[in-house]
Chains A and B, each alone.
Chain A
């Protein structure tokens, strides 16, 4: 039993790991879906290959100029692959609880980028989106949730990180048992 486990109730631990798994899945599936395309939905509609170019073109906020340049750059294809790969890596990290702190940090960085590219300043529903947002949107909220995961070091509650962090404890247990 480590310090995280000692200080948190069982319910708190379960809640945190559940939150991490859900966020991990969200990232993982978004990344998987991007790499899968071009694809077809089960009801028979084609889904064109994914590119972030259109989204980046529509970017606003302080980094808009950078995003616009990126959208027009010849390496937009590599940018797309990198984004999808990053989403999958972060997703795997959070889902499985491996290198969780790095995964949380990566996820925060991605969410920050996404948020900065589309900061909701209008405060009214935008075309092709649901809901009305002013400053706070779901990206920002997800970032807040990841921040919680980061500070609680949830990899030490559950996940493959336990195999990395507590090898000695496990060995000790086995040795004790053998003696």
Chain B
């Protein structure tokens, strides 16, 4: 304009307030802009919600609803609360939509690969086959009327690690939204949810330890969620071959071919689940899914030496810079 000058970027207070707490083995954080300091109580209150969700969903506490479910559902239908039932419903829906690549019942496979004890080993074909027999969301019966869950095969187990953080962020956001217009929520950096967003939105840099580049992309988020999964974050090495901890439920082998998969979607739980699905299903699944499901944006970096993410689809409220 007539200013013949470039406007300095400035908006209110020039610092972030980060309210955080340890939960689900990671750091849950609510970021507020400095001028929103009076919302710190609301942020704390929302973080309390995570404790509640964790005590219900964790597999690490004997008393959790999920552990109780895993113990009993192989023998008889188990009634669960509305929240858990809704989440399992979403898991099954996503399982179907992703061609079986997203599956919360892979625990027997993880166990046979030694991932649960962090002592990786190469299982025999028979062991894998035996474990695979106990895997499959299609064998989890959800009865809407009685709100009960039953495993068709005894020995099945559910683990919500690949969707739990995103789900928790969604619950936190629902609570926070009553008081706060702008906040950025994060669970360990792998699940991020933007509430509102001033100006161009919340700026989030997407990085990956799998690539040498400083960042994969810069994302502007406004009322949208971002989740990232990577194969090599946790892995086991057997006779010189690295096996990532994310297993392909279709083959029983660790997923390969993708270094890092990020998904932006309206719901944090969905983004979380899809990032795991695309890590397993690769570029092809990401392309197909984003075409069939508008409002999903995926950045998938294949293991081809390019270190460049391929971008599929679009999501309202999200824009990419330098992808």
Q: Which of B29-72 contact A (CB under 8 A)?
A: none
B2 touches A52 (CB 8 A): no
A54 within 8 A of B: yes
Q: Which of A119-152 contact B (CB under 8 A)?
A: 125, 128-129, 138-139
B4 touches A55 (CB 8 A): yes
A139 touches B4 (CB 8 A): no
How many A-B residue pairs have C-beta atoms within 8 angstroms? Tell me: 32
Measured CB to CB, the nearest residue on chain B to A90 is: B2
A50 touches B1 (CB 8 A): no
B1 touches A128 (CB 8 A): no
B3 touches A30 (CB 8 A): yes
Chain A residues within 8 Å of B7, by CB: 128-129
Contact with B along A25-59 (1 / 0, CB 8 A): 01100100000000000000100001010111010
Chain B residues within 8 Å of A110, by CB: 2
B6 touches A30 (CB 8 A): no
How far, in angstroms, from A110 to B4 measured CA to CA in the complex? 11
B5 within 8 A of A: yes
A96 within 8 A of B: no
A128 touches B9 (CB 8 A): yes
The 8 Å CB contact of B4, one of A26, A27, A45, A52, is A52
A138 touches B1 (CB 8 A): yes
- Chain A: interface size category: 10 to 19
Contact with B along A49-81 (1 / 0, CB 8 A): 010101110100000000000000000000000
Chain A residues within 8 Å of B6, by CB: 54-55, 58, 128-129
Residues of B in contact, count (CB < 8 Å): 11
A114 touches B9 (CB 8 A): no
Chain B residues within 8 Å of A128, by CB: 6-9
Contact with A along B87-116 (1 / 0, CB 8 A): 000000000000000000000000000000
How far, in angstroms, from A55 to B9 measured CA to CA in the complex? 16
B9 touches A30 (CB 8 A): no
Chain A residues within 8 Å of B9, by CB: 128
Q: Which of A78-100 contact B (CB under 8 A)?
A: 83, 87
Task: Tell me the smallest distance from the CB of B222 to a CB of chain A, in Å.
Answer: 14
Task: Tell me the smallest distance from the CB of A82 to a CB of chain B, in Å.
Answer: 12
How far, in angstroms, from A59 to B168 measured CA to CA in the complex? 49
How far, in angstroms, from A128 to B2 measured CA to CA in the complex? 15
Task: Tell me the smallest distance from the CB of B58 to a CB of chain A, in Å.
Answer: 43
Chain B residues within 8 Å of A129, by CB: 6-7
How far, in angstroms, from A139 to B1 measured CA to CA in the complex? 6
B5 touches A50 (CB 8 A): yes
Task: Tell me the smallest distance from the CB of A118 to a CB of chain B, in Å.
Answer: 9
Chain B residues within 8 Å of A125, by CB: 200
Measured CB to CB, the nearest residue on chain A to B2 is: A30
The 8 Å CB contact of A26, one of B2, B8, B200, is B2
A55 touches B5 (CB 8 A): yes
How far, in angstroms, from A121 to B108 measured CA to CA in the complex? 57
Given A55-B4, A138-B1, 13 new contacts (CB under 8 A): A26-B2, A30-B1, A30-B2, A45-B10, A52-B4, A52-B5, A54-B5, A55-B5, A58-B6, A114-B1, A128-B7, A129-B7, A139-B1
Query: Which A-B residue pairs are the 6 nearest by beta carbons?
Result: A30-B2, A52-B4, A55-B4, A128-B6, A128-B7, A55-B5
* 15 CB-based A-B contacts, threshold 8 Å: A30-B1, A30-B2, A45-B10, A52-B5, A55-B6, A56-B4, A58-B6, A114-B1, A114-B4, A128-B6, A128-B7, A128-B8, A129-B7, A139-B1, A139-B2
